[in-house]
Amino acid sequence: MTAALQAWGVGRVGLLIGAAVLLIETTATDQFLLPTFPDRLNGWALVPALVALTMAEPLVDRSPDLTRHATRSPVVIALARLALAYAGAGAVAGYCLLSPDGRMVAAYVLAALSLAAGTVALTGPWYWVPLLPISFAWLQHAAGDFPRPTFAIPAPTLVAVVAGSCLAYVGASAVREEVQRRQ
Amino acid sequence: MIGAQGVWLGTARVRLLTAAALFTAGLPPVLDRDLSWLGSWKKALDQGTFSITTLGPVAAGIACVVYVRLRRSGVPDLLSQARRPWLGWLAPALGVWALASAAVLLICALTTTAAWAAGAHTYPELFWVVPPALAVLGAEVSIGAMMGSRIGHYWAAPWAAVSVFTLFILSSVGVVPGVFRTGGTSGSLSAETFAIHPIAAQAVAALGLGVAVMALSHWDLFRTSSTVHRGMCAVLVAAAIPALFRLHSDSDERYVSSSVEYECRDGQPTVCMLEETTRPLDDLAARMQRLAGPLVAAGVALPARFVQKLPGDSNLDEGSVRLFADEELGATVTDETAARSLAQPADCPAYSSDSPEDLPEVVFTIDRVLTHWILVQDGQASAPTEGGLADWWALPAEDQHPWVRTTYDALSDCRLNALRLPQ
């Protein structure tokens, strides 16, 4: 399992956690204006976008041939990949919780990874292509207000979003595996 | 060799899909909340090049994937035996850049055509800002190619995209020179145009960065390129260094003041707006000419023209068209906007004063009363029945005319200290 984790990028996840902490420490409470944005953007808004774009990378199966010959079922492998990605996002979310303003951001970090997992289920290794414009739209939407209470995500909604995306990802992985097995 | 390398971008269908994905990726910065750029052709063009904000990082990610594939397929070893290895190495990056450029050009064509169709005055001579933006796009693609070539793993693709997007943010907030910002402004660009020197410096800096990064993407192959190629790269890199120092992070540096032209709609009164933002002119002129009726009936002397002013302008002989920024770019205005403009028959210098001696507070109250009176006479608002002026509002219109005439005369002559509320 250690070899699999290394192949899936556990080292990079660690690096990304460090990058996210650095981002939080240097810009989270800064306010800056981006072109065409009507209001100033709070640095916190960058954190979910960064997590969505990069932390979902272990969810991409870069070696489908190895996966096909694995002894474990594709569902278990998909769940293990999810566990790795959510462990990274969870660490970032946990660090966000250390700040009074970060409680809201922590929920968005998990929601962002859910969105990314759903996108991986749909587009595979190209997940970052739709996520990048979506991230820009998110920053535009978040400017001026995030992380104010109006952005609060109810806990049941967050749980449903995370569970739904996990189901979508595991389901898509199993279907893809089955299709490849039949070919 | 260059043509043969096109195969690394996939079949014609894949290339078409790639171009479609790049086009779609460039839309979010363009499709902002209210499409306000429809009201200004210059702003529409600027918004079109601003699409590189998201399109560029996606192009960088795609270039990264292509160069990972090249690297892993042993292509550099094959190329080293070729007649022109460096051109062969560059070709896939040029292919990605060409696809991304086509997407940017299509977006610019769409935004400017839409603005033209919405009635905006066109300035086709300003299309010169597009090639410098494409040079920035080239630098972004080269960063993706370099990361793909150097890292050699497909996981680098989202990292390349995020890195390039981060460069846009850092450019915009002034942490690094403003190379990676290709447009986007909250203003209307009326009486403004694109500044040649900063944008040329941006293009030179982007070209220099692009060739330097591509050289770093495979230094061994670069060393085997012809002396002419290496010389050209050295010149571009050398030119980029002063250009980088020349570039500031000040976002306003991209735009400079330009000559002011007006477009007018004749009538009583004639209404003029800046040529760049005439989208609401027909509607505004029609509303102002209709709402001027009660003022004329009251016997006031309307100025012949109401003109959209620039900050710092002052003309005592002309009324002011007073619009909020979103109204300036919108298709229509409200009756309140038209009445507000009619209520300022002269652009007095005192309006920009902070001193209560020059600009008494009663001016603001009178402005509101006069605007409301115009709307009440037109049936667009009802007369207040409460407050200190309720008795005056209850008077027949003929009895209100003397105050309206006196007030309008004082406003026309900028005798602001002579203004009095109705008794």
How far apart (Å, rounded) are the C-alpha atoms in residues B291 and B297? 11
Contact at CB, B28 and A62, closer than 8 angstroms:
no
- Closest Cα of chain A to B155: distance in Å? 7
Residues in chain B: 423
ipTM for the predicted complex comes to: 0.93
Is B158 touching A (CB cutoff 8 A)? yes
Chain A neighbors of B33, CB-CB under 8 A: 38, 140
* Least CB–CB distance from A50: residue in B47, B162, B185: B162
* Least CB–CB distance from A54: residue in B24, B50, B162: B162
Find out whether B205 and B240 touch, Cβ atoms under 8 Å. yes
Q: What is the pLDDT of residue A125?
A: 93
Among A128, A135, A138, the strongest candidate for a mutation testing the B interface, having the largest count of B CBs within 10 A, is A128
Find out whether B243 and B204 touch, Cβ atoms under 8 Å. yes
Taking CA atoms, what residue in A is nearest to B60? A129
- Closest Cα of chain B to A136: distance in Å? 7
Contact at CB, A62 and B154, closer than 8 angstroms:
yes
Q: Mark out chain A residues that contact chain B at CB-CB < 8 A.
A: 9, 12, 32-38, 46, 50, 53-54, 57, 60, 62, 125, 127-130, 132-137, 140
Tell whether the model's pLDDT for residue A164 goes beyond 90.
Answer: yes
- Selected residues 31-70 of chain B with any CB under 8 Å from a CB in chain A: 32-33, 47, 50, 53-54, 57-58, 61
Collapsing DSSP to helix, strand or coil, B127 comes out as helix
Q: What is the pLDDT of residue B3?
A: 45
- Core vs surface per residue B276-314: b (16+ CB within 10 A) or e: bbbbbbebbbbbbbebbebbeebebebbebbbbbeeeee
Find out whether B104 and B23 touch, Cβ atoms under 8 Å. no
Q: Residue B370: which of B414, B337, B408 has the closest Cα?
A: B408
Taking CA atoms, what residue in A is nearest to B172? A34
* Least CB–CB distance from B155: residue in A32, A57, A137: A57
Domain count, chain A: 1
Q: What is the pLDDT of residue B1?
A: 44
Place of tokens 């003397």: B402
Chain B neighbors of A14, CB-CB under 8 A: none
Among B18, B172, B180, B253, the strongest candidate for a mutation testing the A interface, having the largest count of A CBs within 10 A, is B172
- Closest Cα of chain A to B249: distance in Å? 12
Chain A neighbors of B57, CB-CB under 8 A: 132
Q: pLDDT tens-digit profile of A118-138?
A: 999 999 999 999 999 999 999
Chain B neighbors of A134, CB-CB under 8 A: 28
Q: What is the pLDDT of residue B68?
A: 95
Determine the structural domain holding residue A148 and report its residue range. Answer: 2-182
Find out whether A169 and A59 touch, Cβ atoms under 8 Å. yes
Mean pLDDT, consecutive 10-residue segments, chain B of 423 residues? Answer: 59 91 96 87 96 97 95 85 86 95 97 94 96 97 97 95 95 89 89 93 96 94 88 94 79 82 94 93 96 94 91 79 85 94 91 86 94 94 87 92 95 92 86
Q: How far is CA A130 from CA B26, B206, B209, B233, B422, in A?
A: 11, 26, 27, 34, 62
Contact at CB, A62 and B58, closer than 8 angstroms:
no
Chain B neighbors of A16, CB-CB under 8 A: none
Q: Which helix (H) or strand (E) holds A41?
A: strand A41-42
Among A129, A135, A140, A141, the strongest candidate for a mutation testing the B interface, having the largest count of B CBs within 10 A, is A129
* Range A75-79 average pLDDT: 90
Contact at CB, A133 and B28, closer than 8 angstroms:
yes
Contact at CB, A35 and B162, closer than 8 angstroms:
no
Contact at CB, A132 and B161, closer than 8 angstroms:
yes
* Least CB–CB distance from A136: residue in B29, B158, B251: B29
The answer for residues whose C-beta is within 8 angstroms of residue A53's C-beta and 6 or more apart is A116, A128, A131, A132, A135, B158, B161, B162
Q: What is the pLDDT of residue B351?
A: 87
Find out whether A25 and B175 touch, Cβ atoms under 8 Å. no
How far apart (Å, rounded) are the C-alpha atoms in residues A57 and A117? 9
